[in-house]
Amino acid sequence: MSYEFYADSHTYKANGIVLPSVTANLKALGLIWTSADDLPRERGKRVHLATQYDDEGTLDRQSVAAEDLPYLAAWIKFKSDTGFVIEAIEETVFDEVLGVGGTIDRRGFFPNHRKFPKIPAIVDIKAGQVQPYVRLQTVGYGHAWISQMWRSPSSRSKWFLRCAVGLRPNGKYFIRWFDLKDWHRDLNDWRAVVRAANWKRLNGLEAA
């Protein structure tokens, strides 16, 4: 099966067929709250790009708006404080089981984690609050990665550590961990979300 991702339109395709994204499924059920104000959304995009370029080592600091610099500083502090080791940046994944596409903000591991220093981890970056849907968003990304990589013995994993990092305008951050013991429960909830979103589309109640 061939997979394609078009960044400009944020479109995922499998064998030429458009797949709904992880966030599209969550939005189809009204689980993502979005502000009518465009400023937080635009700021989130800018901050995401700044953290991406910084992690890739290509960031021109002078290109970062002054109001975005504290968010970038918060991300850098998170990495320093936790020792998070990045293995993939903005990684596109396709769920071969559920028929969903997605992009993982960061994949890596926490070598300093008290209990699980060797378990792979997914980190989602938020420039502001962390909404409840992120629990399902991250398990959706994890399941997609696992379903795509199951053929590779060296990359096999049954679950991921998951957390969301909320970056604040004062240069500080907070971490919302999603307990490893909740993986299977969250995955069952995610499967239910995908089924319900697909049902809405099949019945003309939601655009793909």
User: Helices in the chain by DSSP H: which ranges?
Assistant: 22-28, 38-56, 69-82, 134-149, 183-202
pLDDT at 170: 97
Tokens representing residue 174 in the block? 């907070």
Q: Is 177 helix (H, G, I), strand (E, B) or coil?
A: strand
Q: Report the C-alpha gap between 78 and 46 in whole angstroms.
A: 18
Q: Report the C-alpha gap between 60 and 68 in whole angstroms.
A: 13
Share of the chain above pLDDT 70, in %: 93
Indicate the class that CATH gives domain 3-202.
alpha beta
How many CB atoms within 10 Å of residue 11? 13
Query: Residues 6 or more apart from 10 whose CB is under 8 A from it?
Result: 21
Domain limits of the chain? 3-202
Tokens representing residue 81 in the block? 């404080």
pLDDT per position as a tens digit, 90-118: 999 999 899 999 999 999 999 999 999 98
Question: What's the whole-model pTM score?
Answer: 0.92
pLDDT per position as a tens digit, 34-70: 766 678 889 999 999 999 999 999 999 999 999 999 9
Residue indicated by tokens 């013991």: 181
Residue 138 class from Cβ within 10 Å (0-12 exposed, 13-18 middle, 19+ buried)?
buried
pLDDT per position as a tens digit, 137-174: 999 999 999 988 765 555 556 889 999 999 999 999 99
